[in-house]
Amino acid sequence: MVSTPTRPQGGKPRPGSTATAARGQASPLGRLRTAYRRFWSALEGTGTSRNGSTYYLILGATLALTAIGIMMVLSASSVESIAAGKSPYGDALKQGIFAALGIFTMFVLSRVNVVWLKRLAWPGIGAAAVLLGLVQVVGDEINGNRNWIDLGGVTFQPSEAAKLALALWMATVLARKGHLISRWQHVLVPAAPMAAVIVGLVLAGNDLGTAMIIMMIVAAALFFAGVPLYLFGIAGIIAAAGTAVMAVTSSNRMCRITSWWTGQSCADGIDANYQATNGLYGLASGGWLGVGLGQSRQKYSWIPEAHNDFIFAIIGEELGLVGTVVVLVLFAILGAAIYRVVVAQADMFHRVLAGTIMVWLLGQATVNMSVVTGLMPVIGVPLPFISYGGSALLMSLCAIGVVLSLAREQMAPAIRPKRMLKFKARKGRDTNRQPKTARKRA
């Protein structure tokens, strides 16, 4: 006779029983906890979803954003090009050429073992520092920023190459430090001096926006390397103080901040918020579905350089809220897929490199869209893969190529066992077969 468990007196289930667990899951807090766990499980991916789909999610989102960028550059730049007596397809054609070159380089890098890139860390960061210094000597100044080098009709922006070079160098140095990274001395040397050199050279060209993104890259590399959190607090205070000093000592930056905060012109009558205001007009006039591709009004010189930093406003005006949500979803897919690559890495070099690239691209996109929507003062930061700029597009695609190489390494262990099992099964069948002559004799 099998005894059945009985409830204690009062009819209440015992603690730890199945009924108690079911009641805990049925509560609002339990359902919220379950949904939270499912969300992170889906975000991180498991098994086949991590190994198989991650590579194609990254690749698909990147190609989709690049295609949208070329299309919107054509739409946003054609009017001003015609007004300047140039071909309406000129800027879009240049962007397409850099996109083709970047996609080719992306696929090449995706086939290269990332460990081989360690050899390029020190030469790469050295070349980036030399080019940034060369910009201050022979560089071109555009809208108050000295960031470009003219290469015979084609301008190149070394600060964009410095982002990828710094990410690779930081990952190499921090991975070599290993367990010593918990000591502040090993965090500062040599990471802090080299980062200060790169940021200082960029600030010498009066480009605060790019300097902010580079500081974000440095912070991301230190975070994924496991640096103690109290060092981030100290660095944040120092960075905030430095930013405040740079803002106070520059009338242009103070004008941008006060115009953004008050919505009024500066004391000298300059409306530094003019570009952001017209960007909001474009987003508002787009409505749900937009005014139609190529039908923007704000690109008629209401938004200066509409195909550059404020191209997101043109997307919202021509394609409406639906178009902006599509762009946001694509960036979200890209970020979630790269995050899967990050959490799957056991090696510190791989983890720091992938995490730094993720923060670089998504952080820059967040800053750009925050500026366009009025959440931040106007800062000259392009929207990755979409804004006009060959250097930014080329380096962003190269960074994706590095991440794809890490994603391919995750796919390999999942593919090889299946092939080996098929080979062993086929070999087993072949050994069990009898030769034809033996079968005939039998």
Domain boundary assignment for the chain: 62-409
The CA distance from 262 to 255, in Å, is: 10
User: What six digits make up the tokens of 319?
Assistant: 């394609």
At 434 the pLDDT is 52
At 416 the pLDDT is 45
Q: At what angle do helices 121-138 and 158-177 cross, to 10 degrees?
A: 150
pLDDT greater at residue 121 or residue 272: 121
Average confidence (pLDDT) over 391-404:
95
At 98 the pLDDT is 95
Whole-model pTM: value is: 0.83
| pLDDT tens by residue, 9-64 | 545 555 555 555 455 556 778 777 787 777 666 666 654 445 568 899 999 999 99
The CA distance from 160 to 132, in Å, is: 10
| pLDDT tens by residue, 76-112 | 998 888 888 888 899 999 999 999 999 999 999 999 8
Average confidence (pLDDT) over 344-348:
88
What are the CA-CA distances from residue 300 to residues 13, 73, 211, 339 (Å)? 72, 14, 31, 40
For residue 299, which of 384, 380, 286 has the smallest C-alpha distance? Answer: 286
At 85 the pLDDT is 85
**Given CA atoms 209, 212, 217, 218 in this order, what sign does their dihedral have?**
positive
At 412 the pLDDT is 59
Lowest mean pLDDT across 230-239, 313-322, 357-366 = 230-239
Residues contacting 52, CB < 8 A, separation 6+: 411, 414
**Given CA atoms 102, 103, 104, 109 in this order, what sign does their dihedral have?**
positive
Residues contacting 287, CB < 8 A, separation 6+: 320, 321
At 420 the pLDDT is 43
Residues contacting 297, CB < 8 A, separation 6+: 282, 285, 291, 317
Strand 145-150, strand 155-156: pairing: antiparallel
- Percent of the chain beyond pLDDT 70? 81
Cβ(132)–Cβ(195) below 8 Å: no
Average confidence (pLDDT) over 433-442:
49
For residue 275, count other CB atoms closer than 10 A to its CB. Answer: 20
Average confidence (pLDDT) over 381-396:
94
Average confidence (pLDDT) over 321-349:
94
Cβ(253)–Cβ(208) below 8 Å: yes
- Percent of the chain beyond pLDDT 90? 44
The CA distance from 408 to 55, in Å, is: 7
Average confidence (pLDDT) over 109-131:
91
| pLDDT tens by residue, 197-252 | 999 999 888 888 899 999 999 999 999 998 888 888 888 888 888 878 877 777 77
Lowest mean pLDDT across 73-77, 167-171, 176-180, 215-219 = 176-180
At 33 the pLDDT is 77
User: Over 50: is that where the pLDDT of 437 sits?
Assistant: no
